[in-house]
Amino acid sequence: MNYSITQYQSNDLLRLTAFLNASWQYDSITEAILQEKLEGDPYWMPEATFVCKDAEEIIGFMQGVMRDIRGTRYAYIKLMAVDGAYRRQGIASALFDKLETIFREREADVVRIYDVPLNYFMPGIDPRYTPALCWAMRKGFERFGDTSNLLVDLNQDWDMSVKEAALQADNIEVRRANHEDKQAILDFIKHEWLLWSNEVEMAFKDDQPSIHIALLNGEVKAFSAHNANNKGTGWFGPMGTHPDLRGKGMGAILLKRCLQDMKDMGLSHSIIPWVGPIDFYSWHSNAVVDRVFWRYEKKLK
């Protein structure tokens, strides 16, 4: 292979955006969102982000990041692509070999593909990218699960004001968070949902925070957010409710507040990504399964 592999540089952004959009059949990305996935990652690793070029033309790309989660040191391929005209020439393998060397030097336990907590573009490999699946298996990755993205038509009535008013009799207040609520929300999630802290931070970057909360006797006990990942594209989540408020319909109320926000933004659809409880979202928002993703990992230890 006579192509060159170098570390990504910020002046590659424009060409890299165009390259990814030309290389991905089922996805597209803007410069702003690509920047969010690169330098915007809370653990951005420029030394593990590589471009492959033929002369000055980008023909391959792979980004690596790492996370320490509950005692396991995870490494991830966060984004990758190879120009269709250059496939089956070992480019993806050459890029991954560089990443794997870095991951092993930093004592990663396992490598996963795409499903990167805190900041991600997709939660696994869409199996329609069949060459990517085959490549992953050849490189020693094994499938360990799957997940789905749901799609919601926002042209619905999301008003829950009557149910919200009824909760006041139980000293429960539901409202949009303001910037002064930020620390209370971060304190609320730090034990059970610490991995969501970056997305909460992102929701507070909006002039009007894209996050709603429920308070019991003045204390935050539930929240939902949107526009906290892949900004401007209609992504919902995360959302969490303390056991003190479960069984009161709080999830549906907070979900619909966010969906109304996105409707007010002029969006036609919302994406509910990386979904576990499909039935909940289908029941309360008529969400439908839009995409399925297969999850792959390779153990290094």
Q: Give residue limits of the domains in the chain.
A: 4-146+293-299, 156-267
Per-residue pLDDT, 276 = 79
How far apart are the C-alpha atoms of 67 and 239, rounded to whole Å? 21
pLDDT tens, position by position, for the chain (301 residues)? 679 999 999 999 999 999 999 999 999 999 999 999 999 999 999 999 999 999 999 999 999 999 999 999 999 999 999 999 999 999 999 999 999 999 999 999 999 999 999 999 999 999 999 999 999 999 999 999 999 999 999 999 999 999 999 999 999 999 999 999 999 999 999 988 989 999 999 999 999 999 999 999 999 999 999 999 999 999 999 999 999 888 899 999 999 999 999 999 999 999 999 997 899 999 999 999 999 999 999 999 8
pTM greater than 0.85 (yes/no): yes
Contacts of 184 (CB under 8 A, 6+ apart): 219, 220
Per-residue pLDDT, 180 = 96
Contacts of 283 (CB under 8 A, 6+ apart): none
Q: For residue 144, give the nearest of 113, 101, 118 by alpha carbon.
A: 113
Helices and strands (DSSP H and E) totals, the chain: 9, 12
CATH architecture of 156-267: 3-Layer(aba) Sandwich (3.40)
Per-residue pLDDT, 215 = 97
How far apart are the C-alpha atoms of 226 and 143, rounded to whole Å? 29
**Which residue in the block uniquely carries the two structure tokens 């040191």?**
73
CATH topology match: 4-146+293-299 vs 156-267: yes
Per-residue pLDDT, 2 = 79
Which contiguous run of DSSP H or E holds residue 29? Answer: none
**How many CB atoms within 10 Å of residue 39?**
13
How far apart are the C-alpha atoms of 159 and 75, rounded to whole Å? 42
Helical H runs in 38-160? Answer: 91-105, 130-138
How far apart are the C-alpha atoms of 204 and 176, rounded to whole Å? 11
4-146+293-299: which CATH number, 3.30.9.10, 3.90.25.10, 3.30.930.10, 3.40.630.30?
Answer: 3.40.630.30
Which contiguous run of DSSP H or E holds residue 7? Answer: strand 4-7
Contacts of 115 (CB under 8 A, 6+ apart): 76, 122, 123, 124, 147, 274, 293, 295
Per-residue pLDDT, 293 = 97
Per-residue pLDDT, 1 = 65
